[in-house]
Amino acid sequence: MDSPRLREPSQRVSPRARLMWRISALLESVALLAALLAATLWWGWFDLRWWMPVVAGVVLAAYVVVMPTWRYAVHRWEATATAVYTQTGWLTIERRIAPMSRIQTVDYAEGAISRIFGLASVTVTTASAAGALEIAGLDKQRARALVDELTRQADTVEGDAT
């Protein structure tokens, strides 16, 4: 049997993931700006220059616009008979592979925001020190089918998953 090779996975996450990531980034940015404003008022940092909040706002707006599109372009996944492949990131790109014989658990999760968009995440846990593989931004039905598929495949592969 050929061992799995590290390569770019073929499947994309749902296109709705871009909007979900954009809304999440917007909420995070608003919370960060509010915290900065509150800290400024609380500690009396009234000597802030007019341009400082403008710069922070521009940087956060760029994050809200750029990150989801870039992240969608990078995020990929694939499940074969021998392994699960993932590629994630946006500033740095990480490719990971989990051979079926190493899979210990397969989890399905819907966050509060992802549920609004009909999306879910699948997490594949192995004995790896690098941690679990997560495929975020999948359509709910596709995520459920993937969990069933991976569970069946991992159960039929010889090995002790350690």
Q: What average pLDDT does range 6-20 have in this prediction?
A: 92
Q: Which range (4-13, 33-42, 76-85, 138-147) has the least confidence? A: 33-42
**Residue-wise DSSP of 92-148:** SEEEEEEEGGGEEEEEEE--HHHHHTTEEEEEEEES-TT--EEEEEEEHHHHHHHHH
Its pTM stands at 0.82
Element (H, E) at 61: helix 51-74
Reply yes or no on domain 76-156 having CATH 3.40.640.10: no
Domain ranges (residues) in the chain: 16-70, 76-156
Straight-line distance from the first to the last Cα atom of the chain, in angstroms, rounded to the nearest whole number: 19
Q: What average pLDDT does range 132-144 have in this prediction?
A: 96
- What confidence tens digit (pLDDT) does each residue in 74-103 have? 999 999 999 999 999 988 999 999 999 899
